[in-house]
Amino acid sequence: MGFRVRVSPMVDPARHRWWASGTPAEQAGELNALLRDPEVRAVITHTGGQATIGYLDLIDLDATRADPKPIIGYSDISVLRIVLYAKTGFVGFHADIVTHGFGSDWYTLGEEGLEMPEAGGRTAVMK
């Protein structure tokens, strides 16, 4: 399909804060950077994201409206997609563990073979 995968900085097994990849402000900052980046054409989450509810009020809704791009994920990412739909009319996609095909199992991503322990809201990016 011609997609190039770019792994976001917070998708790093060394980063963890309880069950998440960072604080709500850090997670929102990463998502907002992806939403504002014109080269990013879709955001694909690695896991569900138990911490998603902690950063919903920090999402840049103007960036979502200005350059809509699919947000694909499951579990708590559904909450993110519902909020974006309610606030902007933007529609996302439900997909169960979408990164499964990026590696030999869902703990690896792409050719890097980056080990990723399950953590909420970690994001892989397709551009």
What is the tens place of the pLDDT at every residue in 67-94? 999 888 888 888 888 999 999 998 888 8
- The encoded tokens of residue 36 equal 């504002």
Specify burial of residue 74 (Cβ count, 10 A radius: 0-12, 13-18, 19+). middle
47-66 b/e (C-beta count within 10 Å ≥ 16 → b): bbbbbbebbbeebeeebbee
Question: Which of 36-40, 60-64, 96-100, 102-106 bottoms out in mean pLDDT, i.e. has the lowest?
Answer: 102-106
pLDDT tens digit string along 12-58? 667 666 666 788 898 899 999 999 999 998 888 876 667 788 899 99
Q: In the prediction, which pLDDT does 111 show? A: 45
Measured distance CA(2)–CA(9) in Å, rounded: 22
